[in-house]
Amino acid sequence: MLREVLVKNNILLKKFIRTRNQSLEICKNLELEDYSIQPHEDISPPKWHLAHTSWFYEEVILLKLTKNKTRYNNEYKLLYNSYYKSAGKHWEQNRRGLLSRPTVKEIIQYRKYIDKEIIKFIKSSKENFNQKYLIELGIHHEEQHQELLFMDIKYILGINPSYPKYKRSSLPKARNKPIKEWKKFSEGIYEIGHEGNKFSYDNEKPKHKKYIYSFQIQKNFVSNSEYLNFIKSNGYKKPKYWLSKGWEWINYNNISAPLYWHQINNKWYEFTLYGLKQLDLNAPVCHISYYEAYAYSNWSGCRLPTEQESEIFLKNYIDKDQKTDKNILHSINTNKNNNNLWWWTKSHYSAYPRYISYKGILEEYNEKFMCGQFVLKGGAIVTPVNHHRYTYRNFYEPHQRWMFSGIRLAKDLK
């Protein structure tokens, strides 16, 4: 029994160390000046992510489950609590970029302290499911912030008119032209949601039955070329395709193309983590809001899939090779099912039947966001591999589009 516990602890320890190192690795390409920038209220400075993920371990594990009840720095409780009201006051999200201190160097020291204490805790832990789950939750939480780091870094660099590069290597062109293929599913009762001992969030459970009408879903993502046709046909100027709030949103914000698209001398370009590139027509359209995805699906004579339809599709056609293109930070394959882009569903983010949320401070992790947001399924090129599962539920507000989001179409089967 002791040997089994030690083996499990060693596996968990390796996961923890690998995840902590990966966050720093993502930031290696940044200049010091990049760490504190916040160009939009949805964006967090990279150094904030590095500190917040450490605060999470301290607040949820070290202060609750160990004898060490002393905070590393009392000020960090205010500065790096994201939105957990039960943990006390927190600095406002839209003002994170106003703070030049603590310095990046001080935050790295904070991370080293947390690393040391968590490693000590894992090594001394006995067989305890709840403790193991909290460590895993901390790891998966940091992995979520690693994806957010890529999203935020891209926005920080993309707003700069000199279009600086995050990656110095070259970006390959799309390998394949889009293959139009529809997958059909019969009417019936399907099981939705997570079940089993592998890690999942509370919002993925419980597994439950859902009656689904027959449908078909497109195996490929909508390409840049297809979306460009929507623009050329004045799709952004015709209210009949848009939800009322979407129409208000594009007009109020003067939006006429996806985020990061730029028309220069009558040619279309796209900002990527590799800098500004001429638009790759065969690549999937990316950084699309729900409003835009909805309008495009209307224009194309289709609709967006539901969350349940998307999960059924993924369960049957999820890509086995998760490692493909893992070093490429831009989606270049419209025919890849996951590990590519998130796609919008038409489903509102809400609790499953008989849902049981986390307790204590973690009750605020998912449940309180179940209002005014839509579910995205799949997983993006920058999404950690552990999060590419068919039950995973991502969610964003309908106007947001700085995440790596695309479009997959669906239709009813008569």
Residue 147's CATH number: 1.20.120
Domain match, 193 and 225 both: yes
Domain match, 317 and 365 both: yes
**Residue 398 domain boundaries:** 182-412
Look at residue 95 and tell me if it is in a domain.
yes
Amino acid at 186: S
Regarding beta strands 342-348 and 405-406, do their DSSP bridges make them parallel or antiparallel, or are they unpaired? parallel
Domain match, 97 and 198 both: no
Yes or no: say if 379 and 339 are a contact pair by the CB < 8 Å rule.
yes
Domain match, 226 and 77 both: no
Q: What is the pLDDT of residue 2?
A: 36
Look at residue 201 and tell me if it is in a domain.
yes
For residues 414 and 411, give the distance between their C-alpha atoms in angstroms, rounded to a whole number: 9
Tokens of 24: 């720093």
Domains identified in the chain, total number: 2
Q: What is the pLDDT of residue 6?
A: 47
CA 239 to chain centre: 30
Q: What is the pLDDT of residue 110?
A: 99
Where does a domain end: 123, 143, 158?
158
For 177-227, the DSSP string reads -----EEEE-SEEEEES--SSS---GGG---EEEEE--EEEESSPPBHHHH
Domain match, 136 and 18 both: yes
User: Which H or E run includes 76?
Assistant: helix 74-80
Per-block mean pLDDT, blocks of 10 residues, the chain (414 long):
55 97 98 98 99 98 88 97 95 97 99 97 85 96 99 99 96 85 98 97 98 98 98 99 99 99 98 98 98 99 99 87 68 80 98 97 96 98 95 99 98 94
Domain match, 201 and 144 both: no
Domain match, 23 and 125 both: yes
Look at residue 38 and tell me if it is in a domain.
yes
Domain match, 233 and 153 both: no
Look at residue 149 and tell me if it is in a domain.
yes
Count of beta carbons in the 10 Å neighbourhood of residue 166: 19
Where does a domain end: 158, 174, 196?
158
Where does a domain end: 158, 192, 225?
158
Look at residue 46 and tell me if it is in a domain.
yes
Q: What is the DSSP letter of 326?
A: T
Domain match, 396 and 256 both: yes
Tokens of 387: 């999060």
Q: What is the pLDDT of residue 1?
A: 37
Tell me the β-bridge partners of 340.
380
Look at residue 173 and tell me if it is in a domain.
no
Domain match, 58 and 110 both: yes
Regarding beta strands 261-264 and 215-218, do their DSSP bridges make them parallel or antiparallel, or are they unpaired? unpaired
Look at residue 277 and tell me if it is in a domain.
yes
Look at residue 168 and tell me if it is in a domain.
no
Domain match, 148 and 294 both: no
Domain match, 227 and 344 both: yes
For residues 25 and 167, give the distance between their C-alpha atoms in angstroms, rounded to a whole number: 13
